[in-house]
Amino acid sequence: MNARTCIAVDSTCDLPAQFIRDNNIEVLPIYIHHAGGRQLDYRNPANTLRFYQSHTREKYGLAQSEPLSVEDMTQLLQRKLLPNYDLVQVITTNSKKSEVFKRVSEAAMVNEPKFRAMERPNRPPFRIRLYDSMTMFTGHGLLVYELVKRLKEEKTPINRSIRAIDHMREEVYGYIIPNDLAYMRERRHMRKSDHKISWVNFKLASVLNRRPIIQIHKGDTAKMTTGKGFWGSLEVLFDHVRKQMEQGLTCDAITMSYGGCLDEIKDHPTLVQFRKDCQKAGVKTLLSMMSMTGTVNVGPGAFALAFATDKALV
Q: What is the dihedral of CA 139, 64, 177, 25, to 10 degrees?
A: 30
Same domain, 128 and 234: no
Domain end point (choices 169, 204, 227): 169
Any idea what DSSP says for residue 1?
-
Please calculate the CA angle 181-187-193 and round it to the nearest 5 degrees.
Answer: 105
pLDDT of residue 201: 61
133 belongs to a structural domain: yes
313 belongs to a structural domain: no
pLDDT of residue 89: 96
Burial readout 232-260 (b: 16 or more C-beta within 10 A, e: otherwise): ebbbbbbebbeebbeeebebebbbbbbbb
Chain centroid to CA 218: 14
* Structure-model confidence comparison of residues 306 and 61, the more confident one: 306
Render 101-148 in DSSP notation, one character per residue: HHHHHHHHHHHHHHHHHS--TT-PPPEEEEEE-SS-THHHHHHHHHHH
Average pLDDT over the chain, rounded to an integer: 91
Domain end point (choices 148, 169, 190): 169
Nearest Cα neighbor of 193 from 173, 170, 158, 222 is 222
Same domain, 225 and 296: yes
Given the DSSP bridges, would you call strands 253-258 and 303-308 parallel, antiparallel or unpaired?
A: antiparallel
pLDDT of residue 181: 83
Same domain, 181 and 105: no
Same domain, 138 and 226: no
pLDDT of residue 111: 86
Q: Count CB neighbours of 86 within 10 A.
A: 16
CATH code, domain with 201: 3.30.1180.10
Same domain, 44 and 142: yes
pLDDT of residue 209: 79
Instruction: Check pLDDT > 80 for residue 34.
Output: yes
Same domain, 137 and 210: no
pLDDT of residue 192: 54
297 belongs to a structural domain: yes
Given the DSSP bridges, would you call strands 220-228 and 64-67 parallel, antiparallel or unpaired?
A: unpaired
Same domain, 238 and 135: no
Instruction: Give the whole-angstrom CA distance, residue 147 versus residue 143.
Output: 6
Nearest Cα neighbor of 173 from 270, 314, 297 is 314
Summarize the confidence of residues 256-275 as an average pLDDT. 98
Same domain, 268 and 300: yes
Same domain, 290 and 206: yes
244 belongs to a structural domain: yes
179 belongs to a structural domain: yes
* 286: containing domain: 172-308
Same domain, 67 and 134: yes
Same domain, 95 and 206: no
pTM: 0.93
Each residue of 80-100: pLDDT tens digit? 998 899 999 999 999 998 999
Same domain, 160 and 176: no
72 belongs to a structural domain: yes
Position 139: which residue type? G
Instruction: Give the whole-angstrom CA distance, residue 264 versus residue 256.
Output: 14
Domain end point (choices 149, 169, 189): 169
Which of these ranges, 3-7, 116-120, 238-242, 289-293, has the smallest mean pLDDT? Answer: 116-120
- Taking each helix axis from N to C end, the angle separating 229-247 and 269-280, rounded to the nearest 10 degrees, works out to 0
Instruction: Give the whole-angstrom CA distance, residue 265 versus residue 225.
Output: 22
314 belongs to a structural domain: no
pLDDT of residue 102: 95
82 belongs to a structural domain: yes
Each residue of 147-196: pLDDT tens digit? 999 999 999 999 999 999 999 999 999 999 999 887 777 776 555 555 45
CATH code, domain with 65: 3.40.50.10170
Summarize the confidence of residues 44-51 as an average pLDDT. 96
Instruction: Check pLDDT > 70 for residue 206.
Output: no
pLDDT of residue 122: 82
Name the domain count of the chain.
2
Phi, psi of 220, deg, nearest 5: -110, 150
